[in-house]
A and B are shown apart, each in its own frame.
Chain A
Amino acid sequence: MTLPVDPTIAPPGTRTFHDAGGIPADRWHADQTGETLVPTHCCFCGVQCGMYLRVNQAGKVFGVEPRNHDINRMRLCPKGINAYQQVNHPDRLTAPLIRRYRDKPFQECTWDEALDFTVAEIRRIQEVYGADAFGMLGGASLSTEKTYLVGKFARVALRTRHIDYNGRLCMVSAAGANKLAFGIDRAGNPFSDILLSDCVLIAGSNVGECFPVMTQYIWGARDRGAKLIVVDPRETPVARTADLHVPLKPGTDSAFFNAVLHVIVRDGLTDEKYLADHTTGWDAVKAAVENYPPDRAAGICGVGVEQIEQVAHWFAGAERAMAWHARGVEHHSQGVENCLSIINLCVATGNIGRPGAGYGTLTGQGNGQGGREHGQKSDLLPGGRSITDPEHRREICHIWGIPEDELPLAGTSMMEMVHQMRRREIRGLIATCNNPFVSLPNHHVVKEGYDTLEFHVQLDFFLSETAANAHVVLPVTVWAEDEGVMANAEARVVKHNKAQDPPPGVRTDTWILCELARRLGTGDKFAFSTSRDVFEELRIASAGTVNDYYGITYERLEETGGIAWPCPTTEHPGTPRLFEDGRTYHPDGKIHLQAVAWHPPIDPYDETYPLSLTTGRTVAHYLSGNQTRRLGALVEQTPRPWVEVHPSHGFSNGQPVRVVTRRGSAVYPALVLESIRPDTVFVPYHWPSPTAANILTIDALDPRSKIPEYKVCAARIEAATTLDEVPAPPTGPGRVAYPETQVSRTDPRPPTAPQGLGTAERDWSPP
């Protein structure tokens, strides 16, 4: 049976909806007239929910209205609902900040002053220490145009090999596994395929909190009778009602999935015809999983044998099964292998490339997918090309109009660059769209690396903890002040529209990079005045590659609501579902299965550090919190971090508990919950030092993807007397974080549940 991909397949509960976009706003809004609704998408996670921004007669964004876009069908999570409040937020940076030395305060300055100083420092450092002594770091919340520009700026204007981005902390393990197995780096199926599935396996993804709007697709499947399996050390909101929750010990994922495949092989549930026709390497995989009988894996993973057997029988027994995973399996020193062990499971049961059957990876950042495709990764060039492939280098040099010997070689990963900063191999840094002082592991090492930099310029719209440590800070637009495209977790390219002009003094990242390039003498390669100009070059630079955007235009995106790449021509409908013809993007068209052997996490357990510390998100906050820790409703919902502990440790709720690892310690209020494994503690990572979870985490990296092992390190917990306080978000000189948004930040209590404080636990009256 083949079912067509119908982008209009709607999750249940939404089929009769119509949104306010069809109704003149002044016909139904109680006290606003003359407003306009600008269709766009959320700035936050990889689901990329559609939304309208409400714009008043003065041209200012002042609210949000649900939008009936096929991704989300009007659904929004609390982050998306409050996102608009960033746009005209009092904490916005509106002038460049400058200082010669880190111990001096910032001063506001003109754009010429800031850019002249930046260019002078780039020249000084590169002339004395070589081009590679100046590094660049991008981010995957930028539009794809801007990520393309970041990669091009580093290679063409700075001519440095040291360029990487914060997707290195997010998606790279999945990317590595996808490339190895399929020769293409994206999810195989659209979200709407979940509605058609008979068994949905969610591995290492707190879907209910990190991708809340995806939950409607899962319920849509369950209402048809599909089984839901959730593999997670914590009983998260989506795990709570799952048909089966497997609370495995952190860092044991590949042992678990190998054992599941062991049972499937043992019981003759594999799809041998599919394996014979479409794969290479199956014999090696079969031999590898032979070493993971359920009783052995049950011991490693701390789960019951019957759970392993049950997952195997449900997944292999379903006519159409799907697996979706996220950082829970990817943030490991064997992150790539964990993803491969899940791919093996899907492939061995023939669950690839069919409606309701397939494999997907949930990108954490809004442009986690698009941000890794077009050249801001240390080893990649636009169109997913390899910087080490001579043919790929030749193609890009031709498009960029530069001699081949001027194109730098592959650089290093984000965490490796920090170590190079410490060793003074990298002495200057330009960075945009990241906040490593909160997001990188082993914070003390990160701080040391950045403090060693001779010159550091950071672009941001709020003064992040990292920007507050820089020499120059350049104020940039928020997502609602520029247009551009993003690719969501389905590899569907969607368009963000401009809803208002930026405040005076604020520039786009595009303008800044082009202006810096001009001052560095390569302005002719950066003659872009708008995002559209960049997108047109990106279309050409990706044409003919696996990541083909050539057929995608702004006009088509506005007409269709989104197109999944590859899309080679302007008549092509896009490719929502991969591998329908049974062929992958490897030259032989086969799935290259990879055998996986489990190894323990890098940080060893001993008597001093007997517990597993795992980190993650909570629903009200996003990544490093530089945005969400300034939005009053979200601060009120979840004012501070906590440590989640099992009641067996004897702590009482709210008691100060010190979490100690080999790298540092921090004190949090205890949230005592039966829904976490007794041998595991959890700390959410959105807050800065001294309450940063990343003071505690280990900077061990996956050897292939170079992703840090955020999801497991050895720890102990002990009673403490006073809590570490949550600092206010940094602000420009002479300012404090907008007080009305920070009222509850000093609340010493843990939340009522991991999702936040219940409304009864909050002071309802405004301050």
Chain B
Amino acid sequence: MMGRTIFIDPGRCIGCQACVSACRECDSHRGKSMIHLDYPDEGRSVASLPTVCMHCSDPVAPCAEVCPADAIQVTPDGVVQQADTTRCIGCANCVNACPFGVPKIDLAAKLQMKCDLCYDRTSHGLAPMCATVCPTGALFYGTLEELRTERPGVEVADSFTFGDTVVHTGVAMVVPADKVRWPVPGGLPVIEVNGVDVR
């Protein structure tokens, strides 16, 4: 994970969508929100889950790897940038390649849109917009040490399994340490968890 990054804690999320609205206020993509907010336990609980770009580090940025226009750049600090508008051809390869389903295509502009951790804000020492406004701290911006100071005993995961592939990410998730050892199962049908057949 990156040194200073976003930590996502779905346990704290109240599903209010302040992050969704705040993202829309960002000057570089005003009016369009890049945050995904899902209610994954529909009908059973009011649980909610925010998703920002995970800024994959190993393999580095699958979205960038598949980009035929070489439009998606990764900065030295590990932030996977939004597709460069002068290069992007709106082909949606990145959308299909992303294991977390993060990038979107603005169909009218024929351009990709994706979270860059509010590079314009973080480069001036501000937190990303979503983590700034999040009323509960479900989106936390800072270092792992800062997170641990404030939430004693917190466990985080920065690797996720998709079938045989393990993806290491720059953004981390808070996990219930007593229940799941990471890497955390990703998006494909779960067959085994950490070597244990769970079918």
What string of 1s and 0s marks CB contacts (under 8 Å) between B98-130 and chain A?
A: 000000101110000000000011011111010
Contact A235 B135, beta carbon cutoff 8 Å: no
Who on chain A is nearest to B51 by CB?
A: A759
Provide the residues of chain A in CB contact with B47, threshold 8 Å: 240, 753
Known: A237-B15, A766-B32. A215 touches B136 (CB 8 A): yes
Known: A12-B151, A23-B124, A240-B46. A81 touches B39 (CB 8 A): no
Contact B28 A31, beta carbon cutoff 8 Å: yes
Closest 4 CB pairs of A and B: A208-B14, A237-B14, A12-B150, A753-B39
A99 CB, min distance to chain B CBs, angstroms: 37
Kindly state whether residue B160 has any CB partner on chain A within 8 Å.
Answer: no
- Can you list 13 A-B pairs, Cβ within 8 angstroms, ordered by A? A16-B146, A77-B135, A82-B21, A219-B136, A223-B150, A238-B14, A241-B12, A633-B20, A633-B24, A637-B17, A673-B45, A673-B46, A755-B48
Contact B14 A755, beta carbon cutoff 8 Å: yes
Contact A755 B39, beta carbon cutoff 8 Å: yes
For the complex with contacts A75-B135, A216-B137, 6 further pairs of A-B residues with Cβ separation under 8 Å are A64-B25, A78-B20, A214-B135, A619-B16, A752-B38, A764-B32
What string of 1s and 0s marks CB contacts (under 8 Å) between A101-117 and chain B?
A: 00000000000000000
Kindly state whether residue A589 has any CB partner on chain B within 8 Å.
Answer: no
Contact B15 A213, beta carbon cutoff 8 Å: no
Known: A30-B120, A64-B25, A209-B14. A235 touches B37 (CB 8 A): no
Residue in contact with B16 in the complex, picked from A11, A78, A219, CB distance below 8 Å: A78
Contact A760 B36, beta carbon cutoff 8 Å: yes
Contact B127 A17, beta carbon cutoff 8 Å: yes
B12 CB, min distance to chain A CBs, angstroms: 6
Name the residue in B26, B37, B104, B123 with the highest tally of chain A Cβ atoms < 10 Å from its Cβ: B37
Contact B17 A76, beta carbon cutoff 8 Å: no
Contact B42 A28, beta carbon cutoff 8 Å: no
A674 to B124, CA, bound (A): 45
Kindly state whether residue A66 has any CB partner on chain B within 8 Å.
Answer: yes
Known: A16-B142, A766-B108. A653 touches B17 (CB 8 A): no
Contact B36 A755, beta carbon cutoff 8 Å: no
Interface positions of B (Cβ within 8 A of A): 11-18, 20-22, 24-28, 31-33, 35-39, 42-48, 104, 106-108, 120-121, 123-127, 129, 132-137, 140, 142, 146, 150-152
Contact A753 B48, beta carbon cutoff 8 Å: yes
Residue in contact with A75 in the complex, picked from B17, B27, B133, CB distance below 8 Å: B133
Residue in contact with A76 in the complex, picked from B18, B39, B46, CB distance below 8 Å: B18
Kindly state whether residue A573 has any CB partner on chain B within 8 Å.
Answer: no
Name the residue in B11, B26, B124, B134 with the highest tally of chain A Cβ atoms < 10 Å from its Cβ: B134
Kindly state whether residue A562 has any CB partner on chain B within 8 Å.
Answer: no
B155 CB, min distance to chain A CBs, angstroms: 14
Who on chain A is nearest to B124 by CB?
A: A28
Contact B133 A76, beta carbon cutoff 8 Å: yes
Contact B120 A13, beta carbon cutoff 8 Å: no
Interface positions of A (Cβ within 8 A of B): 11-13, 15-20, 23, 27-32, 63-64, 66, 74-78, 80-82, 208-209, 212-216, 219, 223, 235-238, 240-241, 619-620, 633-634, 637, 647, 653, 672-675, 752-756, 758-760, 764-766
A240 CB, min distance to chain B CBs, angstroms: 6
Provide the residues of chain A in CB contact with B121, threshold 8 Å: 28
Name the residue in B21, B43, B44 with the highest tally of chain A Cβ atoms < 10 Å from its Cβ: B21
Provide the residues of chain B in CB contact with A223, threshold 8 Å: 150-152
Provide the residues of chain A in CB contact with B137, threshold 8 Å: 11-13, 216, 219
B113 CB, min distance to chain A CBs, angstroms: 9
Contact B136 A66, beta carbon cutoff 8 Å: no
B115 CB, min distance to chain A CBs, angstroms: 13
Provide the residues of chain B in CB contact with A240, threshold 8 Å: 45-47
Who on chain A is nearest to B108 by CB?
A: A765
Provide the residues of chain B in CB contact with A633, threshold 8 Å: 20-21, 24
Contact A30 B127, beta carbon cutoff 8 Å: no
Contact A766 B14, beta carbon cutoff 8 Å: no
Provide the residues of chain B in CB contact with A76, threshold 8 Å: 18, 22, 133, 135
Contact B150 A755, beta carbon cutoff 8 Å: no
Residue in contact with B38 in the complex, picked from A13, A637, A758, CB distance below 8 Å: A758
Provide the residues of chain A in CB contact with B32, threshold 8 Å: 764, 766
Contact B46 A215, beta carbon cutoff 8 Å: no
Contact B42 A753, beta carbon cutoff 8 Å: yes
Contact B20 A637, beta carbon cutoff 8 Å: yes
Provide the residues of chain A in CB contact with B44, threshold 8 Å: 673-675
A27 to B16, CA, bound (A): 31
Contact A212 B18, beta carbon cutoff 8 Å: yes
A80 to B134, CA, bound (A): 12
Contact B17 A755, beta carbon cutoff 8 Å: yes
Name the residue in B35, B126, B152 with the highest tally of chain A Cβ atoms < 10 Å from its Cβ: B126
